[in-house]
Amino acid sequence: MTAAGRAPRRGKALGQLGVLPEGAILVRDGVIAAIGPAAKIEKLQDSRRAQLLDLDGRVVLPGFVDSHTHLVHAASRVHEYELRIQGASYQEIVRKGGGILNSVKRLRAASAEELKTRARVFLGRFAEHGTTTIEAKSGYGLDVTSELRILSLYKELGAEQPLEIVSTFLGAHVVPEEYRGKPGGTREYLVLLEQALIPEVAENGLAEYCDVFCERSAFSRAESRQVLVAGRENGLRPRVHAEQLSHTGATQLGMELGAASCDHLEYLKPGDIRALAKSDTVATLLPGCDFHLGLQLYAPARALIDGGAIVGLATDFNPGTSPTLSMPMVLSLACTQLRMTPAEAIAAATINSAYSLGRHKRIGSIEIGKQADLGVFEVADYREIPYYFGVNTCWLTMKRGEVVHMRD
Ligand SMILES: [Zn+2]
């Protein structure tokens, strides 16, 4: 499966993946130098000197691009998981001091070394599941020191291990404890974001994107606008957590501000879908969240695809609402819950996600000149990757031509 061709993919083109049976790929200096039928590639001059990696009939995909994660966090929130199973709602858990603020408390108490060790383990697991690039957000620090610490960790991790990390500043995740319940607290925190944090993040090249959680329990549409505009003025392109638990109008706001992506979208309205279809903003769907929270409402993927919007898929890896780093599991959910075909789900998780991170010219498909970022799966047919739900069939992962995971 090459996913080669025009990017991003909309409508019917999303399901046209480009299957190459009995294919071979020639990699030189981490870049795809040739691709085609094995018989032809083997005859190339350069192939004779190349080291052979026999995939023995396995399925090769472009490495997954996970365009929405909250990689650095200090601890799981398994206690809330159990409370929710017993009937507590997300809002109730938030009111009881759980939720994001719980993660903030834990993160502030953790050392940079602890956070880094934990993140490294997760990055290894991402690679084991065929992911080669991830977007990673801050947002569990919510003060100057802790937010900068998270983003600095992403920079260090990006240099020290093979997976590519794209950083997003999410200082506007929720209003931190110390600003809550005092008059003008939210306004004061927004000033901190606009005048101290965002300029500092931008000046030090610590993020490419600025995100906001636009929701009743977090930031209003007007407050979200303020944050995203400040980010944009400092060169950080907007991304938005939109319409997850209610309809707030965040998607329209995102499109108006030229957001790279609007994510979640469970409460999308028909007008939003029509607007997304005409825009270059990616609709990134995160079905792991609805699955983990036991919600019945999933984003309207079919209407988005059939309408012509750019649909992407990601894990939303985070300790509260989606503790999975498995893109194969997200593909399974996309197929059974979002009614996407396996081919559509794979294109959404590779080339379209790469587009949402502004990297579609370099990654997201198997084409000459692109980085040799590949996932090899121990299946006979690509559709078996989502079909075997909860089973990791990834056999080998390659990043820039280097094997970063291989099953014995
Ligand atoms: Zn998120």
Instruction: State which residues have CB under 5 angstroms from ligand 1, the bound ion.
Output: 316
Query: How far, in Å, is the centroid of ligand 1 from the Cα of 368?
Result: 33
pLDDT at 91 (0 to 100): 77
Query: How far, in Å, is the centroid of ligand 1 from the Cα of 103?
Result: 13
Query: How far, in Å, is the centroid of ligand 1 from the Cα of 44?
Result: 46
222 Cβ contact list (under 8 Å, min separation 6): none
Nearest to 200 by CA among 169, 226, 223, 157: 169
pLDDT at 97 (0 to 100): 76
Query: How far, in Å, is the centroid of ligand 1 from the Cα of 241?
Result: 6
For each of the chain's 408 residues, which pLDDT tens digit applies? 788 888 999 999 999 988 999 999 999 999 999 999 999 999 999 999 999 999 999 999 999 999 999 999 999 999 999 999 999 987 788 777 788 999 999 999 999 999 999 999 999 999 999 999 999 999 999 999 999 999 999 999 999 999 999 999 999 999 999 999 899 999 999 999 999 999 999 999 999 999 999 998 899 999 999 999 999 999 999 999 999 999 999 999 999 999 999 999 999 999 999 999 999 999 999 999 999 999 889 999 999 999 999 999 999 999 999 999 999 999 999 999 999 999 999 999 999 999 999 999 999 999 999 999 999 999 999 999 999 999 999 999 999 999 999 998
Query: How far, in Å, is the centroid of ligand 1 from the Cα of 48?
Result: 47
Model pTM?
A: 0.97
